[in-house]
């Protein structure tokens, strides 16, 4: 939470949370529970800096179990950080994922 700007904008699952306080009161607890039951592997990450801003993009695979549901998905994350009062703070996050469909052999 210390890394989030007070006015962070977080996009996840088609919705938006418009502050650190809103995220903490809504999705933070569920996100922590989700992360405890899964493993994430990073397949790509890049960062680009311009002045007082940094763009970080990541891709990976998420596997595990959450609420008795098997998770096997690709994931993408975009974070924008800004240098605020000498500290890097996250001002925007966008998380997305898609189920990995099993390959069905054709006859």
Q: How many structural domains are present in the chain?
A: 1
CB atoms within 10 A of CB 78: 14
Q: What is the CATH number of the domain that holds 64?
A: 3.10.450.50
Q: Is the pLDDT of residue 104 over 90?
A: no
- pTM comes to 0.90
Residue 59 lies in a domain: yes
Spell out the residues 6+ positions from residue 22 whose beta carbon is closer than 8 angstroms to its own. none
Q: Is the pLDDT of residue 107 over 80?
A: no
Mean pLDDT of the chain: 95
Domain that includes residue 25, residue range: 4-97
Which tens digits make up the pLDDT trace of 20-36?
Answer: 999 999 999 999 999 99
Residue 93 lies in a domain: yes
Give the per-residue pLDDT at 103: 80
CB atoms within 10 A of CB 79: 19
């Amino acid at each position: 939470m210390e890394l989030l700007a007070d006015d962070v904008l977080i996009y996840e699952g088609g919705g938006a949370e418009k502050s650190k306080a809103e995220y903490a009161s809504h999705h933070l607890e569920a996100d922590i529970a989700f992360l405890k039951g899964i493993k994430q592997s990073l397949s790509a990450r890049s960062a680009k800096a311009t002045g007082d801003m940094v763009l970080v993009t990541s891709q990976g695979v998420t596997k595990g179990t959450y609420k008795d549901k098997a998770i096997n998905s690709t994931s993408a994350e975009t974070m924008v950080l800004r240098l605020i009062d000498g500290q890097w703070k996250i001002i925007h996050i966008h998380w997305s994922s898609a189920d990995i469909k099993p390959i069905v052999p054709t006859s």
